Amino acid sequence: MEMPEASKQNESEHVQNPEPDQILSPRRSLQLHQRKWWISVLFCLFLVVAGDSLVMLLLNFFYVQDNRQESDQDLQYKGTWLQALVQNAAFPILIPLFFIFPSPKPNQETNNTRFLSFRLLFLYLFLGVLVAAHSKLFALGKLYANYGVFTLISATQLIFTVVFAAIINRFKFTRWIIISIILTVLIYVFGSPEFGGEPVENEEFYSIQAWLTFAASVAFALSLCLVQLGFEKLLVKTKRYGNKKVFRMVLEMQICVSLVASLVCLVGLFASGEYKELKGDSERFKKGETYYVLSLVGLGLSWQVWSVGLIGLVLYVSGVFGDVVHMCSSPLVALIVVLAFDFMDDDFSWPRIGTLIGTVLALGSYFYTLHKRNKKKMVELNQSENSVEV
Ligand SMILES: Nc1nc2[nH]cnc2c(=O)[nH]1
């Protein structure tokens, strides 16, 4: 059969200009690929830890500056739609990055089918609503009672992530991953930072807080596993971005999901009437309205840094690993909060030093599994090369 002209041209271009990876031996190419992968993983890990630290610093700044002692009792529980909106709304800063990052050629056979676009659209819509829900629920949960109780209940997010990952992603657990998960839960519970948004004693609602935080943890865990499923089944397997996992996928996911989540939170802000309080809130801010706006902008940007890192870890490794890194950052965040704020009774004592050491062990044992997986791939390649030579 006669080959179409365009396809002939494509093929000859392909032969004349092979991709850099194709010039190298398979072994060298795998080595380079694994090195790039490690750099991407470490970069995303850095983003998650930096995002977590910045968010907690700015949240503490926000609530310390909010002059609640000087106003009527119950202001503490308002402003949660605003917090949920801030968690998602700064996504437009990612749009220029999306166009800067290179996109590999899409696969001609599978790209642009209507069915695929519909499924992807549905996934982004569903994830957007889920992210809006956990943003709002976590914001409420944090403000309803003691932060120690909040971390105790929100530690279940990792347990839910593990369960969903086993069901949805068919996640394979190793002994080292299980050790890492157990250590992470302990670190998160015992190494939590101080939080300036705690209510005073007569405002605490433990039973409501428990349910809200529980629901937030389930929604967060489900969103991580669905993001992973979306990457695997809709973006990578269908070769929408060629054969590779590329950072552009992370940006696409984050921009689309945050757009939907921001719209939901915006509707919540107006429908609940919370928007009417923004003026009073900004006037009550000790450092003045400019700092009120700046702290919200800073929070918005910090949440984006965190989310991009988290989704990056889901793409390159898994939802479980993303959650492990997020929760392991807790002792480091606690240390930064001790250094930055002068909260009563908040010091970096031996139990917290212990959680910091635990963090190294938890991440170390997960990294050990990742290292072993990479090594296994290299050994398999060597074996297949040897069997071809024989
Ligand atoms: N997933 C998640 N975990 C948290 N731990 C403390 N705050 C949060 C939050 O807002 N989201």
Would you say the CB of residue 220 lies under 6 angstroms from ligand 1?
yes
Rounded mean pLDDT, 228-243: 81
Q: Is 307 in the pocket of ligand 1 (CB under 6 A)?
A: no
pLDDT at 23: 67
Distance between CA 381 and CA 28 in Å, rounded?
11
pTM of this structure: 0.88
Region 327-349: mean pLDDT is 86
What is the model's pLDDT at position 20?
52
Whether residue 113 has pLDDT greater than 50: no
Pair of tokens at residue 43 = 């970069």
- Ligand 1 center from residue 350 Cα (angstroms): 24
The mean pLDDT of 49-56, rounded to a whole number, is 97
Mean pLDDT value across residues 253-282: 94
Residue 381 in contact with residue 33, Cβ under 8 Å?
no
Q: Which residues contact 193 (CB under 8 A, 6 or more apart)?
A: 56, 330, 333, 334, 336, 337, 338
Residue holding tokens 């390159």? 316
| pLDDT confidence bin for 209, thresholds 50/70/90 | confident
Is 87 a pocket residue for ligand 1 (Cβ < 6 Å)?
A: no
Task: Report whether 221 contacts 323 (CB < 8 A).
Answer: yes
Average pLDDT, the chain: 86
pLDDT at 17: 46
Residue 157 CA: nearest ligand 1 atom is: 1
* Span from the CA of 138 to the centroid of ligand 1 (angstroms): 6
How confident is residue 16, by pLDDT bands cut at 50, 70 and 90?
very low
Phi, psi (5° rounding) for residue 242?
A: 75, -155
Give the DSSP letter of residue 86.
Answer: H
Percent of the chain with pLDDT over 70: 85
Region 241-257: what's the mean pLDDT?
A: 89
The number of CA neighbours under 13 Å toward the Cβ of 105 is: 6
- Please give the radius of gyration of the chain, using alpha carbons only, rounded to the nearest integer: 23
pLDDT in tens, 123-141: 999 999 999 999 999 999 9
Predicted confidence band at 388 (pLDDT cuts at 50, 70, 90)? low
- Averaged pLDDT for residues 241-265: 92
Contacts of 31 (CB under 8 A, 6+ apart): 378
pLDDT band at 19 (very low <50, low <70, confident <90, very high): low
Q: Say if ligand 1 is within 6 A of residue 147 CB.
A: no
Q: How far apart are CA 65 and CA 67, in angstroms?
A: 6
Contacts of 53 (CB under 8 A, 6+ apart): 329, 332, 333, 336
- For residue 344, the model assigns a pLDDT of 63
Beta strand ranges found along the chain (DSSP E): 240-243
The conformation of residue 104, written as its DSSP 8-state character, comes to P
Q: Which of 223, 138, 137, 217 is nearest to 185 (CA)?
A: 217
Residue 103 clears pLDDT 90, i.e. is over it: no
pLDDT for the residue numbered 37: 95
According to the model, what pLDDT value does residue 1 have? 34
Specify the pLDDT at position 108: 58
pLDDT surpassing 70 at residue 91: yes
Number of neighbouring beta carbons within 10 Å of residue 239: 17
Task: Count the alpha carbons within 13 Å of 28 in the hemisphere toward its beta carbon.
Answer: 6
At 8, the pLDDT band (50, 70, 90 cuts) reads very low
**pLDDT in the model for residue 15:** 38
Which comes out higher in pLDDT, residue 169 or 341? 169
What are the tokens at 344? 């009563």
Question: For position 320, what pLDDT does the model report?
Answer: 98
| Residue nearest (by alpha carbon) to ligand 1 atom 11 | 138
Q: Supply the pLDDT for residue 251.
A: 96
pLDDT of the residue at 71: 57
* Higher-confidence position of 158 and 114: 158
N-terminal to C-terminal alpha carbon distance within the chain: 37
Tokens of 286: 């000790």
**pLDDT reading at 205 higher than 90:** no
Cα distances from 231 to residues 159, 184, 261, 314, in angstroms, run 22, 25, 19, 9
Q: In Å, how far from its chain's centre is CA 221?
A: 11
So what's the pLDDT on residue 13?
Answer: 36
Give me the pLDDT at residue 4, please.
Answer: 40
Distance between CA atoms of residues 355 and 41, nearest Å: 23
With 70 as the cut, is the pLDDT of residue 212 above it? Answer: yes
DSSP state of 71: S
Please determine, for residue 7, whether its predicted confidence score (pLDDT) is greater than 80: no
CA distance 53 to 185: 18
Cβ–Cβ under 8 Å, residues 71 and 281: no
Q: What are the pLDDT digits (tens) for 293-302?
A: 999 999 999 9
Report the percent of the chain where pLDDT is more than 90. 61
pLDDT at 2: 36
The secondary structure of residue 364, as a DSSP letter, is H
Band of pLDDT at residue 3, cut at 50, 70 and 90: very low
The finding on whether 223 has its CB within 6 A of some atom of ligand 1 is no
3-state secondary structure of 349: coil
Whether ligand 1 lies within 6 angstroms of the CB of 292 is answered as: no
DSSP 181-214: HHHHHHHHHHSPPP-TTPPPGGG--HHHHHHHHH
Query: How much of the chain is helix, strand and coil, in % rounded to 5?
Result: 80, 0, 20
ipTM over 0.90: yes
Task: Identify residue 252 by its one-letter amino acid code.
Answer: E
- Looking at residue 11, what is its pLDDT? 38
Name the residue with higher pLDDT: 5 or 172. 172
Kindly state if the Cβ of 150 falls inside 6 Å of ligand 1.
no
For residues 19-45, average pLDDT: 85
Decide: helix, strand or coil at residue 66: strand
